[in-house]
Amino acid sequence: MSRPDAPLAFVPQLKPRVWGGERLKARVADPPAEPVGESWELSDVDGSVSATPDGVPLRELLARHGDAIVGDGWDPARPGRFPLLVKLLETRQDLSVQVHPDDETAARCGLGPAGKTEAWYVLDAAPGARIWAGLEPGTDRGALERALARGEVARVLHAIEPRAGDAIPVPGGTVHALGAGLELVEIQQTSDVTFRLWDWGRVGLDGRPRELHVREALEVIRWDAPPPAPAPPRPVAQDGAARRRLIDGAPFVIDELAEFDEGGAPLDTGGRFRIVIPVAGRVLVVTSGGRLERTAPDLALVPAAAGRWRLHGSRDARVLLVQRPPA
Q: What is the tens place of the pLDDT at every residue in 161-199? A: 999 999 999 999 999 999 999 999 999 999 989 999 999
227 in any annotated domain? no
Rounding to the nearest 10 degrees, give the CA dihedral for residues 281, 240, 233, 224: 90
The size of the chain, in residues, is: 327
2 in any annotated domain? no
Q: What is the Cα–Cα distance from 309 to 306, expressed in whole angstroms? A: 7
Q: What is the Cα–Cα distance from 180 to 126, expressed in whole angstroms? A: 8
Question: Domain end: 154, 188, 220, which one?
Answer: 220
Do 147 and 279 reside in the same domain of the chain? Answer: no
Q: What is the Cα–Cα distance from 251 to 113, expressed in whole angstroms? A: 14
Strands 118-125 and 182-189, bridge-based pairing: antiparallel
Inter-residue contact 172 to 219 (CB < 8 Å)? no
Band (113; pLDDT cuts 50, 70, 90): confident
- The structure's pTM equals 0.96
Q: What is the Cα–Cα distance from 43 to 82, expressed in whole angstroms? A: 8
Residues catalogued as catalytic: 196
Q: What is the Cα–Cα distance from 223 to 135, expressed in whole angstroms? A: 8
Q: What is the Cα–Cα distance from 102 to 193, expressed in whole angstroms? A: 10
Do 193 and 310 reside in the same domain of the chain? Answer: no
Q: Looking at residues 297-319, what average pLDDT do you find? A: 98
Question: What pLDDT shows up at residue 250?
Answer: 84
Q: Does the pLDDT at position 220 exceed 80? A: yes
> Helix, strand, or coil here: 144?
helix
pLDDT 10s digits, 32-84: 999 999 999 999 999 999 999 999 999 999 999 999 999 999 998 888 999 99
- Range of 310's domain? 234-323
Do 136 and 253 reside in the same domain of the chain? Answer: no
Domain CATH number, residue 302: 2.60.120.10
DSSP state string for 233-255 = PEEE--TTSEEEEEE-STT-EEE
Q: Which helix (H) or strand (E) segment is 174 a member of?
A: none
Domains held by the chain: number:
2
Question: Domain end: 162, 195, 220, which one?
Answer: 220
DSSP state string for 100-139 = ---HHHHHHTTS-SS---EEEEEEEE-TT--EEEEEPTT-
Q: Give me the amino acid identity at 236.
A: V
Q: What is the Cα–Cα distance from 263 to 298, expressed in whole angstroms? A: 22
137 in any annotated domain? yes
